[in-house]
């Protein structure tokens, strides 16, 4: 299941208590203090996992705790420290505090970031021995670990984003070129969460594609799925508008393109400045031929960005992928 937003309460481990203990051996009278220190509590860290594409591991978790430190032992033995807990998240995850302020934007696979410091272990009575205090009874308890409430929000960091109206055939195209088993059906429906797939070319180079759920008019005002998934297009380097060119249900393919562009621009003006392609899908259907011809006459952009394909039959797909590869690799891949 695709999960792109979770709220977590993090609790690092408490430090173990120091203890009061005395050295008692047969030939060592007045052996003195031997209470060991407590171990430190485990900390909580977060790092990017290049193999993760969703926050689903945290879907049913609200409180995450690191291990407590163990108390000290006799013979000056220090308690075992609690294990640090490392949270793995996808590239593109934002870490926000309880007020919604972004603290970290994890766009690189880098070293782990410490979010909660574990508590310090307490001191045993050995620590308090001095020339004037030969039999100390003092010890200290371990300190509490830090508690931190955060929100994790994922903004996909894909190379290519497929956008289109519901039932435009994005999922069918995704399934054909990436071999990802996504839901497709001969009746109108819209994907309810983004699908991710890796497209591998003959030279073994790869790009990551995100199939964004169907966009409808006023999606930027949170209509339909709206803002829940528009943010996932923000970081894609290249956009692909998938248009149903059959004109079924009285729809005009060129008007569909204008609606999609308007929604992206209303959400974020920089979106329409990205490199893009327009794919007229379902060209294998008889009624699509005339609609495609009308679309070409109105198309105001470089004709090299316009392709006619049939995702179900595979017609025109190879030519489109060759152009997509050239543009993505020129612009700079996000996925490796």
Question: What would the DSSP string read from start to end of 221-290?
Answer: GT-TTTHHHHGGGTT-SEEEEEEETT-GGG--HHHHHHHHHHHHHHH-GGGGGS-EEEEEE-TTSHHHHH
Per CATH, domain 1-154 is 3.40.50.720: no
CB 114 within 8 A of CB 146: no
pLDDT in tens, the chain (336 residues): 678 899 999 999 999 999 999 988 777 777 789 999 999 999 999 999 988 888 999 988 999 999 999 999 999 999 999 999 999 999 899 999 999 999 999 988 778 999 999 999 999 999 999 989 989 999 999 999 999 999 999 988 889 999 988 888 888 898 899 865 544 444 444 555 677 888 888 888 888 888 887 676 654 454 444 456 677 888 888 999 999 999 877 889 999 999 999 988 888 888 888 999 999 999 998 889 899 999 999 999 999 999 999 999 999 999 999 999 999 987 766 565
| Helix ranges (DSSP H) in the chain | 170-178, 227-230, 253-267, 286-298, 317-331
pLDDT at 173 (0 to 100): 92
| Helix ranges (DSSP H) in 146-234 | 170-178, 227-230
Give the global pTM.
0.78
CB 157 within 8 A of CB 107: yes
pLDDT at 48 (0 to 100): 94
The CATH superfamily assigned to 160-331 is P-loop containing nucleotide triphosphate hydrolases (3.40.50.300)
Task: Answer positive or negative: Cα dihedral of 296, 300, 306, 310.
Answer: negative
Residues of the chain with CATH 2.70.210.12: 1-154
Residues of the chain with CATH 3.40.50.300: 160-331
Q: Nearest-CA neighbor of 171 among 183, 161, 189?
A: 183
How many Cα atoms sit within 13 Å of 324 on the Cβ side? 27
């Amino acid at each position: 299941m695709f999960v792109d937003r979770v709220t977590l309460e993090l609790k690092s481990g408490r430090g173990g208590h120091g203890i009061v203990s005395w050295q008692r051996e047969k030939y060592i009278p007045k052996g003195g203090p031997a209470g060991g220190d407590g171990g430190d509590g485990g900390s909580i860290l977060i790092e990017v996992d290049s193999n993760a594409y969703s926050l689903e591991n945290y879907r049913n978790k609200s409180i995450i705790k690191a291990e407590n430190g163990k108390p000290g032992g006799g013979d000056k033995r220090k308690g075992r420290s609690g294990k640090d807990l490392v949270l793995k998240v996808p590239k593109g995850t934002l870490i926000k505090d309880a007020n919604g302020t972004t603290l970290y934007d994890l766009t690189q696979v880098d070293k782990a970031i410490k979010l909660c410091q574990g508590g310090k272990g307490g001191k045993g009575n050995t620590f308090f021995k001095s020339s004037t205090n030969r039999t100390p009874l003092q010890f200290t308890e371990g300190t509490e670990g830090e508690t931190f409430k955060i929100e994790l929000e994922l903004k996909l960091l894909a190379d290519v984003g497929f956008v289109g109206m519901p039932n435009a055939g994005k999922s069918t195209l995704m399934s054909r070129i990436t071999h990802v088993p996504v839901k497709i059906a001969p009746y109108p429906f819209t994907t309810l969460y983004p699908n991710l797939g890796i497209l591998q070319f003959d030279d073994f180079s790869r790009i990551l594609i995100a199939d964004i759920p169907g966009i409808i008019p006023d999606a930027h005002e949170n209509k339909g799925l709206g803002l829940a998934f528009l943010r996932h297009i923000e970081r894609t380097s290249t956009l692909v508008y998938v248009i149903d060119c059959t004109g079924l249900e009285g729809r005009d393919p060129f008007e569909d393109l204008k609606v999609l562009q308007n929604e992206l621009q209303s959400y974020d003006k920089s979106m329409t400045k990205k490199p893009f392609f327009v794919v007229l899908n379902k060209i294998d259907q008889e009624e699509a031929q005339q609609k495609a011809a009308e679309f070409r006459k109105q198309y105001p952009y470089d004709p090299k960005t316009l392709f006619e394909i049939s995702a179900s039959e595979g017609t025109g797909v190879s030519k489109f992928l060759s152009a997509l590869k050239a543009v993505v690799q020129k612009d700079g891949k996000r996925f490796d």
